Structure 1
Amino acid sequence: MLQHALGADWLPEYPVPTGDDNQSGLPNHIKIDLANPELRLAIELDGRSHGGRTNRRRDRRKTRFLLRCGWSVLRLSNAKAQSLCTTCKSADTLRTTLMEFFHITVT
């Protein structure tokens, strides 16, 4: 739903090679839930499965890796993503709202 609302520049399950031979605990590549490769923006959608300690640790490691690689990362709950898609009446409004989140949450 979010991908469709954002437009064709956003790609689902976008693979990013880690260049790691599993020495840091990362796989050979990671997948970004929704990515705009040109702008190096990543949206990670976190459902209930992200609540456990192991999954939160894995999410933090993934986010740190992406930040080191020059990506801006926004983590949204599935509920927040659905709410944004419902309340933002146009794709432009949705993109503007998300850019404000990126501006606030990524330093």
Structure 2
Amino acid sequence: GSGQITLGPAGTGQRVGATEYGGPGDPSSGTVGASGQSLLAHPDSFAELGGTSFQTATAMGGLAYMTPLRVTWGTRSAIAYKRDFGLGGGPVAGLPRVIDLWWQFAGAL
């Protein structure tokens, strides 16, 4: 239905490396995503990594713009939406780095 998100069963996701971007600790990122939307107005945002455009940043398989993604850290989960992309970097705790979480979203987890 419209406005609804269907999630897979608990435990069916994948463990990946994620980093945080934006905010006071990363002023070079700015506050506007690659789509032109204000990430401050939409703090529930993430960037799929691996490229320099929405077409080439495919570290999660090439998710469509605004794809909802359940992100879990410890015992907390929340939904973020793909509004950005980025190049990425090396592994995080031995896991491939595939997403950047907007700092306000990461802080809420």
What TM-score results when the alignment is normalised by the length of structure 2? Answer: 0.25
Q: Which protein has the larger Cα radius of gyration, Structure 1 or Structure 2?
A: 1
Higher strand fraction (1 or 2): 2
Higher helix fraction (1 or 2): 1
What TM-score results when the alignment is normalised by the length of structure 1? Answer: 0.25
